[in-house]
Amino acid sequence: MSTFFQRTVALLRPLATIQRIPQQQISKRQFSSSLITLIKQPIPQPTTDAPDVNTFLQKIGHNTTEYADTFENDWDKFFKMSSTQMKDKGIDVPARKYILEWQERFRKGIELAPLKISKKKNGGERNFKVYRAMKRIDDARKMAQLKKGFKKELAAERVQYLQWNKQHKIHRE
């Protein structure tokens, strides 16, 4: 039992000598469980479709060409720049996300073309339940009006049928 205790103390001794690192120096990203952030992505070679950064930004669209001077038309700098570095250079969030998305697509070999800007349908996901409830209410109103109209038509047909029977004096035997 004493050997177990001695081994445990021997294992814990190095942990006690580690100096505390100030909170400002620790990045949350260092403790990420994802290995993808740790892997350096390869820088793709320029193609005939996108020989330089300006052409790349022009082909992906969404007014990203206004940020071309940020990258100084340097291909390596363009693909090495992280999101936080782009933020420090003054690139706004939607454009930054769009550029980073297209960088990844380009690495995968997808042809450059501007993506269609989608619009929210029915006020977006948050308002979908409200939209669905309002639609059900409208559908119920329309159905009630149809039933009411159908009942009126049915009553009118019945009256016509009875009048026709009276005129022709058809009696059932």
CA 131 vs CA 74, 144, 145, 169: distances in Å = 48, 20, 21, 56
Cα separation, 170 vs 165, in Å, equals 6
| Long-range Cβ contact pairs of 93-97 (< 8 A, separation 24 or more) | 94/62, 95/62, 95/63, 95/64, 95/67
Contact 83, 96 (CB under 8 A): yes
Q: Comparing C-alpha atoms, which of 127, 59, 65 is closest to residue 95? A: 65
Q: In this structure, which CATH number among 1.10.3300, 1.10.760, 3.30.70, 1.10.150 belongs to the domain 54-116?
A: 1.10.150
In this prediction, residue 145 carries a pLDDT of 93
Dihedrals phi, psi of 7, to nearest 5 degrees? -65, -40
List, for the chain, all residue ranges whose pLDDT scores fall below the cut of 70: 1-39, 170-173
What confidence tens digit (pLDDT) does each residue in 54-93 have? Answer: 999 999 998 999 998 998 889 999 999 989 999 999 999 9
